[in-house]
Structure 1
């Protein structure tokens, strides 16, 4: 008897791939310029609005960012704020998070993508302004000062606007009950340099009444704000505690301007106690053996991203009170310094898109940030209609074809 011909044999390989993927992942765009010389533009992204003049309350400064387009704010229950890393490639990080969100929606019928808003703040450098990615009215920083919480260099030097002030404005925007009445979680997701800013922000952020909704994901940072003066390693080039434990690496002096008054009132013990009470989620790639921060101060924490992370976790475990109950640790097996693989791991998918730490209703905040009313360059709607139109059979269709072909798909 001649066997019934497999329908798989009648389909090209590309079509078979499409059958098992209900969402066409957005590729990274080619962006003119460079991280060193400055980016020449902020590219348009499908599914995102490019907002060029997000207001920073109490100042005349504006700030550029990407935000999910076409969402009903009353339906949004979760916001993910994900900056770029040292290269300031915020568009790439927005795309990564959007791809994961829509892929999750295509494989999990319980997940509604319209309930999650993704925002990628653009911490521009002076070179980006000169090269053309920004304009003279937007906040910009010197080098990597933004991931320490330092003051912006422009548009007007001396305005004393910290990158932490920007994060305050973004968090307050999403916890504005008149705008997002049903928000349950604001997830600050940082990898590498962005992991640094969020770990430091978790310690230095001035509290608001909705702090229980804020979650900090700290993935593979190059260095940490250490909570104690002891270090796992010594380096003769920075042997003094006043050097290796100076902010941004510790809390012995040099406190960032955003926090000087707060730190004066609380001291080290108060800041550490507050940090321990926040929702901080550490994620370490088990193959991330790159050096990261090459400064002497960072070397006292460990030699690589992974070693510093392991040492920081050990410090928490051995501290008074042990590992805080609101802190978690995820080891992402086999992953190096790759933001897409870290965020797309099963552990971080759960923390990014599903985990909820707050209870009760959103409280009205006197520090809430109003919605931006200025320039908004619209992308396409990121509703489920963004799924690939070429996919018609889905998983059920694949299963049916596998039965006909005698091939079992697992």
Structure 2
């Protein structure tokens, strides 16, 4: 069937299908003759018995092969055929994969029924399974994609939906009665089919469609609302960001730097320049996954130099740094070391008491060694930093555990007079 669908080897495929069907009919007739030989006595002569056996085998095998080929054909071309239906293509495009899947399942169940039917073809079962599942599937899709959305839009509840489907079920039963009436053979197949179809439409398909809609489409509506609100938040954030243009800030800093040089305020100009470099780093390189260790060290030096400008007039503050110049190509996660230095200046420097900070950074091959120690002093009760916990250090610990798992060693020691950090890091 895939060859037929692709219009390749059509003649060979047809010959193979016909020959396979013929062989199956003969094989089934022979097997049935031996397995149910006791039935031969029910007929007047053997020729008549063989005619009956052949008719049963032909009907059964033909039906089974028809189902197999129908499934194979739909499996190959079903999606393409469904996309050609204008109503589905334009109005309910998302329903096509679901119709395709449910139809395949129905055809598979038909094949399974065909495989287990006895040689005496069960007409009642065939009629029921040919009618009931497709009708229920169609009503379920109709309810999910048309009836329920329309009722929910008009703020109608389950009661209105249920009784509406009862009316639809009555209409479907009348249509099926007119359609199936010519196939009545005096048996109970048609009445049973109509009753069973009506019961499943009301008791299974109607509540099932409501449940699926509530748990699928209303969740999708909620997600869409959340996406809309998130989009509004992003728009507001982008608007706020646009109010402070980085280029404006850089231009303003350059203006202040030029003014400081004109007024011979060298220290002010130096501070402005370093602040501008730090801002440029945070805006552009801080968003990257990895940056060169050289750029990270430049940022650390700018930060330390700004802090030295702030504390340079106090002779009791000692800041000792030994940071090697990095001429290698090592990469590091940005802003990984600065929290330790910020913590040292935040908690280790006092403008009223003697204090110190010692910073050492060096590399050997691909290993970074970073040590920092600072004095500890008792903060005043009105100092806003007194009650703050080291959130920055906890954050950097988590980042190290995630980004450098098994490739770092962090030692933090604290005594009554000193806070000490040692970090060993294997870099890329």
TM-score over 0.5 for the alignment?
A: no
Q: Which has the higher contact order (CA 8 A, sep 6+)?
A: 1
Larger Rg: 2
TM-score, normalisation: structure 1: 0.25
